[in-house]
Amino acid sequence: MRRSLVLIAGALSAALAAAAAPAQQPTAGDSAYARTEAKIPMRDGVKLRVVIFAPRGAAAPLPILLQRTPYNANGAIGVARRAKEIGLDGYIIVFGDIRGRFGSEGTFDMNRPPRLGSQSIDESTDAYDTIEWLVKNLPNNNGKVGTIGVSYPGWLTAVTGMGPHPALKAISPQAPMGDTWMGDDFFHQGAFRLSYGTEYTWSMESSSDASEDPSPSRYDLYEWYRSFPTLGALAQAARADRWPTWRRFEAHPTYDSAWQARALPRYMGHATVPTLVVGGWWDQEDEYGPLAHYAALERTDTAGLTHLVMGPWYHGQWSSDSGTALGNIHFGRATGLEYRELQSRWFAYWLKGEGDGRFPKAWLFDAGTNSWRSFDKWPPADAAHRRLYFRADGALSFDPPTSPEGSDQFTSDPAHPVPYRPRPVELTYSRPSRWRRWETEDQRFVDGRPDVLTWQTLPLTEAVTVAGDVVAHLYASTTGSDADWVAKLIDVYPDTVPGRTEMQGYELMVTGDIMRGRYRKTWEHPEAIPANAIQPFTVDLHQQAYTFQKGHRIMVQVQSTWFPLYDRNPQTFVPNIFKARAEDYKARVHRVYHTARYPSNVEIDVLVVTR
């Protein structure tokens, strides 16, 4: 797990993987750099380890490129080996272990919140103190620092912008853990991310150096997680009470101050340093973070310092992969290489003074047309709000229903949940795991299940380009007192796809997400759902830039389980699902309405084509 855990750092993932591999003979890349280490004192006396790779024989002072990480600062060696290949040569490369991890002193605190009350330190002060020491003590530096990172290091990168050091001149938070309750790693709109929350926390908090692996007793984790009748039974088997973050899950299942204090968009509201935010449309871990972080910064960005890149990628794919494909979806171009060329120019301009400094405000990949789109504002101000309405007989239409009656129902059984990807579901970070590509899997593997509802359009007579927000508005009822709602927006390929027979009729999930029904009114104060009463539920599917081509169909699927990515809702209201009893879990009938009064729909922002 130490090797695979390093991979989740995302940014420069190949570099970090190399750091966890067995020692190798020096390469040409190694010999081009001089390696040193240091223990840097923080303002409270705790010393943090950094690993430094400085180019040998530099003719002029160089800028510093810093990544702070919980995944082992030895990852710097991989960046040095591949610096020219990934467009990051000509920098003093520094990786630093954060508090309580690997070679650093102190106590590790997952997503340590900003300073509160008498607290004197946080990740931003540690970043400030690290930069202060580096610019004063590293030979031959030019006094300019850039920070970069993906996932947890992406969040650490973002918070360097809180009261930034004067030497900090450019930051690139990539797939930052923006809000781990609202839409990133641990919860999505109230639903607990069971497999990821368990396995990641197990890896991170069982030891300070990732030396303990998660050890489930079944290969197919669908069966392993399903074998536990409750979250309490799972916690007992895994000894989860050892993990501070699991204890936080149990004590704070709602969106209270424990999570709000850690939510990046809530405390990062203004950019004072040029910021390049990066994410992937099919990021299976942190798609929410970059979009929410960019939106928070953009509200007050009168100086034009904030930029956004979203590509057709899994978590961190852009940092080392060619980006020509994701699973069965081919893009016809090397999107990863194209992005890294922009990243290279970005840092070169702000840290070396090279280039013209012209960068698109928002540079987004449309996987429906396999093309990059540039926007002066994101979401576009001129996008039209349109709704795809559920209709009778599984139809989906831009025309609202007119009938006073109409609904579809299904039985949701916690004992037989809908798998979120084709089984077997392997350990998330195991070598054979298909975790990276699950969001682009063909959704026909669940289409037709009696507990999955489906609506779709006729073949489109003209292209429909989504550019902006996607939101599902459901009017639904349940025979129970709680329910989860999963909504998926899907591109259905034609039955004939020349040269790609495997794509004929393919159902590609363009975007999808889940919300826990008890939070339909407020995230902070859950309420039971009144039985057999029609209630409105809003499922935020976040954003996309995607064209549904002429001849394709648009599909929406709705279901109430997505297992074991998300825990099973007992469907009986209990104050805290982490403490639910086995007898609380009951099969319930859910009904989704599509009438003139209750017109369930998916709202999309659409680019208006002028002819």
DSSP β-bridge partners for residue 384: 606
Q: Determine the pLDDT at residue 85.
A: 87
**What is the torsional sign of CA 214, 217, 219, 225?**
negative
Tokens linked to 342: 């922009």
Instruction: Classify residue 499 as left (phi > 0), alpha (psi -120 to 50) or beta.
Output: left
Nearest to 543 by CA among 512, 565, 509, 507: 512
Cα separation, 16 vs 3, whole angstroms: 8
Cα separation, 401 vs 594, whole angstroms: 7
- Alpha-helix runs per DSSP H in 326-441: 335-352
Q: Chain-wide mean pLDDT for the chain?
A: 94
Q: Which residues contact 80 (CB under 8 A, 6 or more apart)?
A: 29, 30, 32, 33, 35, 53, 93
Neighbours of 432 (CB within 10 A): 8
Cα separation, 538 vs 523, whole angstroms: 12
The values of phi and psi at residue 269, to 5°, are: -110, 5
Quick one: pLDDT band at residue 609, thresholds 50, 70, 90?
A: low
Q: Determine the pLDDT at residue 608.
A: 74
Neighbours of 245 (CB within 10 A): 20
Cα separation, 319 vs 354, whole angstroms: 22
Q: Average pLDDT of 302-327?
A: 97
**pLDDT above 90 (res 269):** no
Amino acid found at 489: L
Tokens linked to 303: 């100086």
Percentage of the chain lying above the pLDDT 90 cut = 91
Cα separation, 587 vs 9, whole angstroms: 39
Q: Average pLDDT of 255-276?
A: 95
> pLDDT, tens digit, for every residue of 107-121?
999 999 998 767 799
Number of helical (H) and strand (E) elements in the chain, helices listed first:
14, 25
Quick one: pLDDT band at residue 574, thresholds 50, 70, 90?
A: very high
* Structural domains in the chain plus CATH codes: 2-179+262-375 (3.40.50.1820), 384-606 (2.60.120.260)
> pLDDT, tens digit, for every residue of 56-91?
999 999 999 999 999 999 999 998 999 988 889 999
* Inter-residue contact 398 to 581 (CB < 8 Å): no
The dihedral over CA atoms of 356, 361, 366, 371, expressed in degrees to the nearest 10, equals -20
Percentage of the chain lying above the pLDDT 70 cut = 94
Please report where in the chains the tokens 């399903």 appear, as a residue.
226
Q: Determine the pLDDT at residue 210.
A: 87
* Inter-residue contact 586 to 570 (CB < 8 Å): yes
- Alpha-helix runs per DSSP H in 21-122: 28-31, 76-82
Please report where in the chains the tokens 């997400």 appear, as a residue.
513
Nearest to 441 by CA among 566, 606, 310, 328: 328
**What is the torsional sign of CA 124, 125, 126, 127?**
positive
Cα separation, 373 vs 382, whole angstroms: 15
Nearest to 32 by CA among 96, 73, 88: 88
**pLDDT above 70 (res 318):** yes
**pLDDT above 70 (res 30):** no
Q: Determine the pLDDT at residue 29.
A: 53
Q: Average pLDDT of 497-521?
A: 97
Q: Determine the pLDDT at residue 150.
A: 97
Q: CA 355 → CA 335, 349, 350, 358, distances in Å?
A: 22, 6, 9, 8
* Inter-residue contact 594 to 406 (CB < 8 Å): yes
Tokens linked to 470: 């996607």
**pLDDT above 50 (res 246):** yes
Crossing angle of the two packed helices 123-137 and 152-159, in degrees rounded to 10: 80
**pLDDT above 60 (res 22):** no
Q: Determine the pLDDT at residue 272.
A: 96
DSSP string computed for 468-519: EEEEEEEEEEESSS--EEEEEEEEE--S--TT-GGGTT-EEEEEEEEEEGGG
**pLDDT above 70 (res 1):** no
**pLDDT above 50 (res 8):** no
Q: Determine the pLDDT at residue 392.
A: 97
DSSP β-bridge partners for residue 592: 408, 476
CA 592 remoteness from chain centre: 29
**pLDDT above 50 (res 19):** no
The dihedral over CA atoms of 111, 117, 120, 122, expressed in degrees to the nearest 10, equals 10
Q: Average pLDDT of 30-55?
A: 95
* Inter-residue contact 294 to 184 (CB < 8 Å): no
Amino acid found at 310: M
**pLDDT above 60 (res 23):** no
**pLDDT above 50 (res 407):** yes
Crossing angle of the two packed helices 152-159 and 288-298, in degrees rounded to 10: 10
Crossing angle of the two packed helices 231-238 and 194-205, in degrees rounded to 10: 20
**What is the torsional sign of CA 344, 347, 350, 351?**
negative
Which letter, b or e, does each residue of 184-222 get, where b requires 16 or more Cβ atoms within 10 Å of its Cβ? Answer: bbbbbbbbbbbbbbbbbbbbbbbebebeebbebeeebbb
Cα separation, 425 vs 435, whole angstroms: 8
Q: Which residues contact 540 (CB under 8 A, 6 or more apart)?
A: 183, 189, 471, 513, 515
